Chains A and B, each alone.
Chain A
Amino acid sequence: MKTLNRRDFGVAVAAAILLPVTTARADETNMEVHIDNFVFQPPELKIKVGTTVTWTNRDDIPHTVVSAGKFRSKTLDTDDKFTFTFTNAGDYKYFCSLHPHMTGMIKVE
């Protein structure tokens, strides 16, 4: 994740107002998903092709990020991150393979 420059900071603040507080939006090509309380936040993310998404596990319990046939993280312990760059448009449903009731969606346009 790049450090925010002044212009992007404005975007981030605006985004922070519009999106759930757990979502940090650094710039157009880097997006974040946080895992808090066994929930992917935001549960659905719309991005452009070429965007890199970083998941961060903020729980005391390990989680994974798995989209069948598309991507699969290692086990993420507390504060571990997983990054994936989406190079193709489409809907990417994903889940935690340890706690499969945890699901999320990345929509790539």
Chain B
Amino acid sequence: MSGHDHGEDGVSRRKVLECMTWAGTGVLWTITGGVPRSLGIIDSAQAATAATPGMTFLQISDSHVGFDKPANPNALGTLEEAVNKINAMPVKPSFMIHTGDITHLSKASEFDNADRIISQSKLDVHYVPGEHDFLDEEVKFYRERYGRGTKGAGWYSFDAGGVHFVGLVNVVDLKGGGLGNLGAEQLAWLEDDLRGKSKSTPIVLFAHIPLWTVYPEWGWGTEDGGRALEYVKGFGSVTVLNGHIHQVMQKVEGNVTFHTARSTAFPQPAPGAAPSPGPMKVEDAKLRSMLGVASINFKQNEQRLAIIDTPLQG
């Protein structure tokens, strides 16, 4: 990445979240001057013809394998639909991240089923846990499967396509009355992990619960998320990807773009729009328009980032 982090040019470029068209039917989001704007639905023909240079990776989230309640009696089925959608994409993504709640109740069979379906994408998958992935008595199933080479409760970083990715865990040691929690040990590790990185390195932080405060009344935020954001302040391009709230939400603050992905299992209500954040039952015909995946594209040397949220249908 060229050093645009303090130049006027860099600022204007960073504020442009260019829309990319490649991933099948999707809602495009564009950010100009910090204001998110939906560009509406693109059709798959248009998407298929658009060539996208740079690196593209996918985000899926909240697959809740094992969930069988009225909001979606077949969460494994809709996960499979999402994976089929991914497999049908005209450009193969470099890899995938999963931002947690892989399973609903952390049963070994749920993890096995999730893996059986997700592995059909034939992509490398980088996971972070959601609170639903640490429910087994010994809290070992997630760690056995996805914890190798990670620190603490499962945090880690890696580099891909010139971008530095950091997977964070904010679902353990939660305090009564509080929100998501990173904890002192993880924050110290993060500070150290970012030390010495060029400020022009694009940074992607991903974790289950939003690192920004979406709606504290429903616990949608991270107690010490602000500390993590302090550490990335000087970087020219920062993207924060989360799940947990089962809906698309986006905002831009300075150089930081915050984005939450849809669930592949069931939708949740908009903040405060229902008595609780629990699974939202919608008409069967509407369900697949509220589930989906996100694809994220980085163009080398342009510091431009594009996120496309693609529903399973609609």
CB-CB under 8 A for A62 and B132, given A75-B105, A93-B176, A101-B216: yes
Chain A's interface: helix, strand, loop or mixed, by majority? loop
Residues of B within 8 A of A66 (CB): 176
Check if B276 is an interface residue, CB within 8 A of chain A. Answer: yes
B161 within 8 Å of A by Cβ?
Answer: no
B5 sits at the interface (CB 8 A): no
Contacts of B135 in A (CB 8 A): 62, 75, 98
Q: Give the CA-CA distance A78 to B104 in the complex, in Å.
A: 12
Are the CB atoms of B217 and A59 closer together than 8 Å? no
Q: How far is the CB of A78 from chain B (nearest CB, A)?
A: 7
Cα–Cα distance between A103 and B174 once the two chains are bound (Å): 12
Chain A positions within 8 Å of B104 at CB level: 62
Q: Could you tell me if B276 and A38 are in contact, using CB atoms closer than 8 angstroms? A: yes
List which B222-255 residues lie within 8 A (CB) of chain A: none
Contact-residue bracket for chain B: 20 to 34
B276 with A39: CB separation less than 8 A: yes
Binary interface encoding of chain B residues 163-187 relative to chain A, with 1 for a CB under 8 A from any of its CBs, else 0? 0000000000011111100000000
Q: Decide if B174 touches A38 in the complex (CB within 8 Å).
A: no
A residues less than 8 Å from B131 (CB atoms): 98-99
Q: Which A residue's beta carbon lies closest to that of B71?
A: A60
Tell me, in angstroms, the Cα distance from A77 to B135 when the chains sit together.
Answer: 11
- B69 at the binding interface (Cβ < 8 Å): yes
Question: Contact mask A69-89 → B, CB, 8 Å, 1/0?
Answer: 000001101100000000000
Give, as a whole number of angstroms, the nearest-CB distance from B141 to chain A. Answer: 13
Least distance between B157 CB and chain A CB atoms (Å): 26
A52 lies within 8 A of chain B by Cβ: no
Q: Are A100 and B219 in contact (CB under 8 A)?
A: yes
Partner pick for A37 among B70, B137, B174, B278, CB 8 A cutoff:
B278
In this complex, which of A62, A74, A101 has the most chain B Cβ atoms within 10 angstroms of its Cβ? A101
Interface residues of B (CB under 8 A from A): 69-71, 104-106, 131-132, 135, 137, 174-179, 216-219, 275-279
Interfacial residues, chain A to chain B (CB-CB below 8 A):
37-39, 59-62, 66, 68, 74-75, 77-78, 93-95, 97-103
* 11 A–B contacts from the bound complex (CB under 8 Å): A38-B276, A60-B69, A60-B279, A62-B105, A75-B106, A77-B105, A94-B176, A99-B219, A100-B179, A100-B219, A101-B177
In the complex, the 5 A-B pairs of residues with the closest C-beta atoms, listed nearest first = A95-B176, A37-B276, A101-B219, A100-B174, A60-B69
Query: What would 16 more interface pairs be, CB under 8 Å, given A37-B275, A100-B176?
Result: A37-B278, A38-B277, A59-B278, A60-B69, A60-B70, A60-B71, A62-B135, A68-B176, A75-B105, A75-B106, A94-B176, A98-B131, A100-B177, A101-B177, A101-B216, A101-B219
